[in-house]
């Protein structure tokens, strides 16, 4: 059983509970002392100001999943890390809805914090995923936010 998973999903295709249940099935979890989860959500204020009405997320699914898999595998190689999961949503999302789940499990909190931060930062830079804010001031594509 591989100790990572990635995916690009439509809204409601995967839940945080699903993700956590899969982590708990990892036989290497006995080596872990920490599981950390990052949940990215749709902000209510746009990067250019204004009130966000919706966020439209698009991706080249195959290319994005390849990038996410590369990131997950490389994070998993770090000392003490036993599980990595990166799952991103696409489509139209409302304010407060989940955009991405990234989880890392490992032996100690410091190594897990570090690995989680790296996974988040790399996903934002490397994955072929774009977002468009639809606000009361107009629509525009945003990057790296």
- Does the pTM surpass 0.85? The reply is yes
What token pair was written down for 113? 């914090």
Among candidate residues 40, 83, 90, the one with its CA nearest the CA of residue 65? 90
86 - beta bridge partners? Answer: 6, 102
- Distance from CA of residue 66 to its chain's centroid? 14
What sign for the dihedral angle of Cα 47, 117, 19, 70?
A: positive
Hey, what domains does the chain have and what are their CATH numbers?
4-142 (3.90.1170.40)
pLDDT for 76-120, tens place per residue? 999 999 999 999 999 999 999 999 999 999 999 999 999 999 999
The pLDDT, as a whole number, for residue 144 is: 66
């Amino acid at each position: 059983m591989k100790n990572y998973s990635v995916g690009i999903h439509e809204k409601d295709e995967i839940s945080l509970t699903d993700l956590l249940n899969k982590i708990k099935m990892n036989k290497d979890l006995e080596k872990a002392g920490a599981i950390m989860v990052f949940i990215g959500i749709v902000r209510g204020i746009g990067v250019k100001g204004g009130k966000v009405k919706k966020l439209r997320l698009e991706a080249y699914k195959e290319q994005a999943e390849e990038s996410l898999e590369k990131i997950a595998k490389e994070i998993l190689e770090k000392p003490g890390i036993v599980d990595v999961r990166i799952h991103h949503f696409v489509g139209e999302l409302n304010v407060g809805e989940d955009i991405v789940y990234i989880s890392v499990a490992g032996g100690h909190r410091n190594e897990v914090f570090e690995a989680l931060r790296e996974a988040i930062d790399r996903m934002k830079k490397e994955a072929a995923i774009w977002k468009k804010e639809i606000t009361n001031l107009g629509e525009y594509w945003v990057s790296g936010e």
